[in-house]
Every structure is written in C-alpha cells, then in structure tokens.
Amino acid sequence: MFINTGKFKKMITTAWKLHHFIAGCTERKYFFSDGTVIISVYRDMLPNKEKAAVIELIGELPEEGQVMKTGKDMPSQYMVMTDMWDVEKIFEKCQCSMTVTRSLYQGSLSTYRVIQNRKDQKCFFVDNYFIDLFDRGAWTEDDFEPEGPKTLNDSPGTLYWKNDTMTFAVYPISVPEDNQELRTYLTLLENMELPEDKYL
C-alpha cells in the first residue's frame, strides 16, 4: 500500500466514531471508505497491520459480496454492492491527469490542497488530510510508484491513484456559490501554473 498505516487507522477510527465507516469485499479486493475517500486493496495484499486495525473496530473483515456501514454503538447496516466501489475500473476510464500543487488554503475546520489541471490551469480543492495519507515509507516489495492523480475528464472531480496493490479515490471539496473568498482565491490561482508538490 502507498498510504501510511497510522493515518489509515486514524481515518477509519474517526469514520467509525462518526458512524461513517464503510467496509466491503469483492471477489478480489477489500475496500474501505469514510464517505469522502475510497481505499481499495487486493485481498492478498492488505497488510496485517491494516487488517488488524479494521478487525479491532468491527470485529471481522467483510466477506465476499458484503458492504457494511458501521459505527460506534450501532449495529452494522448492510448495503447493496454497486459499481461505485470498483474504483480500479473507474481509474481505467480516467482521461485527464491532474497536478497536486504546493498551494494550500487554511479553512476554519481543515486545510485544503489545491489541485490544478495543467491543460487550462483550472483549480479545485481536496482536503489536505487525504494527501497526507500518502507515504513512500509504507510501500511493500509489491508496490511501485502509483499512477495519478487522474479524473474522468477535464472537469474538477474525484481524483484517482492506482498501483499494483491498491486504488485510492478522493472526492473534491465543493465551494459554495456564496463563498466569494474561496472562489476569488481559486480564480487568482488559475492565472498561473502552480508549483507541483512532491508528496510521494
């Protein structure tokens, strides 16, 4: 995996406490989500520490065909398996490469990372918390440099990364129409090519 074990555990624990933790299993992969990110890992390549973190929270790993939403002091709710969880398949359809820039915006609740499309310099945000999940030190002998980030098309949208062990997807942050401060900030950034961040 190309994400940090400790931060993975913190992410799923926070989601579980907020009743937003989703865990599922397909024929070949496990996937985990907090509602804003999806982490899909081949079943035979999920490291033991990550397995233990999931089991510590929900008591077991999901079985093939299961998707369950769980949380603290609540019974598991079983969900319908849909194509939205097959992020590897969606990655293969992505047509546009995006750039993770060094630019950050400090909001009242979190820090936003600026993502830029080099074709037209259009910018959008993702929560920087998810960029901080990436960790070269977490790579195993099966890992290599992930491809990405990519989106389905040139418009701002879900970002996808993939290598031979896992696929990672994170949803963009929507800027409200009435938030002129954020919209002005993005507009100003779109007048230049922003420096790329070497986050991996």
Of residues 56 and 154, more confidently modeled: 56
pLDDT at 138: 84
Q: What is the mean pLDDT of the chain?
A: 94
Check whether the bond before 149 is cis (ω within 30° of 0).
yes
pLDDT at 136: 83
Q: Determine the 3-state secondary structure of 59 from DSSP.
A: coil
Lowest mean pLDDT among 36-40, 50-54, 132-136: 132-136
CA atoms within 13 A on the CB side of 92: 4
In whole angstroms, give the CA distance from residue 65 to residue 53: 21
The set of residues, in sequence order, having a beta carbon less than 8 Å from that of 97 and lying 6+ positions away, is 118, 148, 149, 150
pLDDT at 23: 98
Three-state SS sequence of 126-174: EEHHHHCCECHHHCCCCCCCCEEEEECCCCCCCEEEECCCEEEEECCEC
* Whole-number Cα distances in Å, 71 to 13, 22, 54: 9, 9, 12
Nearest CA to 101 out of 167, 35, 8, 186 is that of 186
Is residue 145 very low, low, confident or very high in pLDDT (cuts 50, 70, 90)? Answer: confident
In whole angstroms, give the CA distance from residue 20 to residue 23: 10
pLDDT at 141: 76
What percentage of the chain has pLDDT greater than the value 70?
Answer: 100
Question: Is the whole model's pTM more than 0.85, yes or no?
Answer: yes
- Encoded tokens for 86: 């097959």
* Whole-number Cα distances in Å, 104 to 101, 123, 187: 8, 12, 14
192 phi/psi in degrees, rounded to 5? -150, 160
Segment 67-87 shows an average pLDDT of 94
